[in-house]
Structure 1
Amino acid sequence: MDKIQTFPNKSLPNKALRHKLFGSVEPGPRSKPVEKSDMADLQNTKKDFLFDLDAVGIANVKHPIVIKSKLKPTSQTTIGTFQFTSSIDKSSKGTNMSRFTEHLNMYHEKGFTADFKSLKQFTKELAVRLKQKDATTIISYPWFFERRGPHSNLPGMNHADVTVTVSYDKKAGFDMKASLSGLITTLCPCSKEISEYSAHNQRGRVTMEVDLDESFDEDHMDWKELLLEAAESNASARLHPVLKRPDEKMVTEQAYENPRFVEDMVRLVAADLYEMNFVTQFQVVCRNEESIHMHDAIASVTYNKLNNNL
């Protein structure tokens, strides 16, 4: 251990002098306007700036939001990571960045529940505030839900990662997308088939991205719960935050009775999504962290219900 150094008491300069010692300087002359009405507004410059821009805005904005759920807890406050954008045409130099966060804070003060109904209103009003023909809002957040042990019934909290996207266009209307990424257990069918006893398993991540029909009614169904169920019900077994020994016995035996390749997972989940009337197209991805290999196993399927036929 290094020897501790001790020093006698000393008299320090005051804080202003300490700041000066470390490089602070006196304010310079103030010659530019201080009132907003007198300041130059470069972002609103109108010229031919060569190209229209697909999206301009801000990202990685973290803000508290309220989430509603059919599963416990039915109402929860979590942290949303936002991205806000709109297009601008080539006659505009830029957008007004402060209007995005100003709009967010206005909704927060009223109590911002991040459901599709609120997000549609939020995004349409954002386009109006920006004086643009369109706007897009993207929010990512962790969604927590209660999970009980299958035998002990002891509760704990699991979570899935959620992303919602709402786009508004003055002519085309709304476009709504949702994504849920959750963890599951899969047991290898090949390992079970060739081994005298036992089989290796792994933790898998299932990510589902879906386009929602504009008439989707969130008041009568929880899309988060439905997508979570699509992933978990097709897995070898579900994950649990609390497992006593009788629970663990049930979970491991269930996994052994329901072996799944990643290919099996994405096809089974896709079948469930195909049967959901409010989903118009989807992509399912499964990634397994292999327990006896150095690599991950992956599979994906993309399907547009409006253009494809089984």
Structure 2
Amino acid sequence: MHDTKFIPLKKLPSKAERHKLFGSVLPVPRTKPVEKNQMADLQNTKKDFLFDLDAVGIANVKHPITVSSELLPNKQSSIATISFSTSLNKTSKGTNMSRFTEQLSSYYRQGAFEAEWQTLKRFAKELAERLDQQDATIELKFPWFFERRGPQSDLAGLNHTDITMEVNYDASNGYTLKASLSALITTLCPCSKEISEYSAHNQRGVVTIEIELNETITSEERDWKAMLLEAAESNASARIHPVLKRPDEKMVTEQAYENPRFVEDMVRLVAADLYEMEMVEKFRVSCRNEESIHMHDAIASVTYDKRNENQR
């Protein structure tokens, strides 16, 4: 083959002329300061601005994180959607938004940003001090992947759940730790099994667990994510699998038939497991079943605060 040389059919304006054609203009004379210490700082204006703010900050920050787990893979990279906030009293006009991402970048330069409680506690406390505020909150939302094997074939694949971790630091009251996990499960309808001559309809359900933890979580050897996942899945009719051969499918469907569950059953059974976990102080469990023979979804939820028992 012979190389062919491109020969333009028409002469284009220069790049600068093209930019001007599409609206670019020359810079105007610069009159305002370019040095930071000479610039106006409107956010630090001190007046009576009428109301205290519950929270001010930034959200929808995407950032790589490292997630550790007792389940395989033991260490994985993920992408978190992060929110940062602090309260603001009425004598301050605003907060310094750049300091949120400045601190995140500082942590990242020191090594991978770890999605674990000690790191988030330290981050929230340092953020409050950097902002010269009494409190600060950081929230991470990310997918967590874990290995699941077929019950008969032992063939492995990766499942995932959605995780949320939130740490609030308050200089007067210490730390508040919150977490959530949403897991897919299979449920088989008890009513359908009871009234039908054979078979029973089932559905895919979503169990969402929201918890408030006490300080023992920071010294726990067990993986809290794995504990919440087990609470959701072990109480279902059957677990969801990424890889199923025919012998696996036989086992899973028969297991579901042997363990029928209403949504009401699901939230109560998961609640019982959470009640027995020392690290959990308060919880909310909800379940949504995407019904296979109805046009609607079925839902149920339960909320319980174990701290109220100590007040009786």
TM bin, normalised by shorter chain, reads over 0.9
Q: What residue in structure 2 maps to residue 17 of structure 1? A: 17
| Structure 1 position 130 matched with structure 2 position 131 | yes
Q: Residue 218 of structure 1: CA displacement?
A: 4.9
Three-state SS of the structure 2 residue aligned to 1:217 is helix
Query: Contact 1:66 / 1:113 at 8 angstroms: preserved in 2?
Result: yes
Aligned letter for 1:63? H
Q: Which moved more, 1:110-119 or 1:265-274?
A: 110-119
Q: Residue 304 of structure 1: CA displacement?
A: 0.5
Q: Whole-Å Cα distance in 1 between the matches of residues 156 and 90 of structure 2?
A: 56
Q: Any residues of structure 2 matched to 1:199-278 within 5 Å, and which?
A: 199-278=200-279
Q: What TM-score, normalized by structure 1, do the two folds share? A: 0.96
Three-state SS of the structure 1 residue aligned to 2:34 is coil
Q: Deviations over 1:92-137 (max 9, x none)?
A: 0000000000001111111211100110001000000011010001
Q: What residue in structure 1 maps to residue 176 of structure 2? A: 175
Q: Any residues of structure 2 matched to 1:137-156 within 5 Å, and which?
A: 137-156=138-157
Q: Deviations over 1:244-292 (max 9, x none)?
A: 1111111111111100000000000000000001100100000000111
Q: What residue in structure 1 maps to residue 96 of structure 2? A: 96
Unaligned runs of 5+ in 1: 1-7
Q: Whole-Å Cα distance in 1 between the matches of residues 165 and 221 of structure 2?
A: 18
Q: Which moved more, 1:8-17 or 1:249-258?
A: 8-17
Aligned letter for 2:260? P
Q: What residue in structure 1 maps to residue 35 of structure 2? A: 35
Q: Whole-Å Cα distance in 2 between the matches of residues 132 and 266 of structure 1?
A: 39
Unaligned runs of 5+ in 2: 1-7
Q: Any residues of structure 2 matched to 1:106-121 within 5 Å, and which?
A: 106-111=106-111, 112-121=113-122
Query: Contact 1:116 / 1:218 at 8 angstroms: preserved in 2?
Result: no
Aligned letter for 1:234? N
Aligned letter for 1:288? N
Q: What TM-score, normalized by structure 2, do the two folds share? A: 0.95
Q: Residue 215 of structure 1: CA displacement?
A: 2.7
Q: Deviations over 1:150-198 (max 9, x none)?
A: 1110110000000011000001000001100010000001111111111
Q: Whole-Å Cα distance in 2 between the matches of residues 138 and 217 of structure 1?
A: 17
Q: Deviations over 1:228-259 (max 9, x none)?
A: 00000000000000001111111111111100
Q: Residue 14 of structure 1: CA displacement?
A: 2.1
Aligned CA RMSD, in angstroms, stands at: 1.3
Three-state SS of the structure 2 residue aligned to 1:190 is helix
Q: Structure 1 stretches (4+) deviating beyond 3 angstroms?
A: none
Q: Whole-Å Cα distance in 2 between the matches of residues 215 and 251 of structure 1?
A: 36
Q: Deviations over 1:21-80 (max 9, x none)?
A: 111111111110011010000000011111111100000011001111000111111001
Question: What is the aligned-residue identity percentage?
Answer: 71
Q: Whole-Å Cα distance in 2 between the matches of residues 239 and 250 of structure 1?
A: 12
**In the comparison of the two structures, how many residue pairs are matched?**
303
Three-state SS of the structure 2 residue aligned to 1:221 is coil
Q: Whole-Å Cα distance in 2 between the matches of residues 73 and 39 of structure 1?
A: 50
Q: Residue 217 of structure 1: CA displacement?
A: 3.0
Q: Any residues of structure 2 matched to 1:177-196 within 5 Å, and which?
A: 177-196=178-197
Q: What residue in structure 2 maps to residue 290 of structure 1? A: 291
Q: Whole-Å Cα distance in 2 between the matches of residues 53 and 21 of structure 1?
A: 47
Three-state SS of the structure 1 residue aligned to 2:225 is helix
Q: Residue 88 of structure 1: CA displacement?
A: 1.0
Query: Contact 1:162 / 1:180 at 8 angstroms: preserved in 2?
Result: yes
Aligned letter for 1:113? E
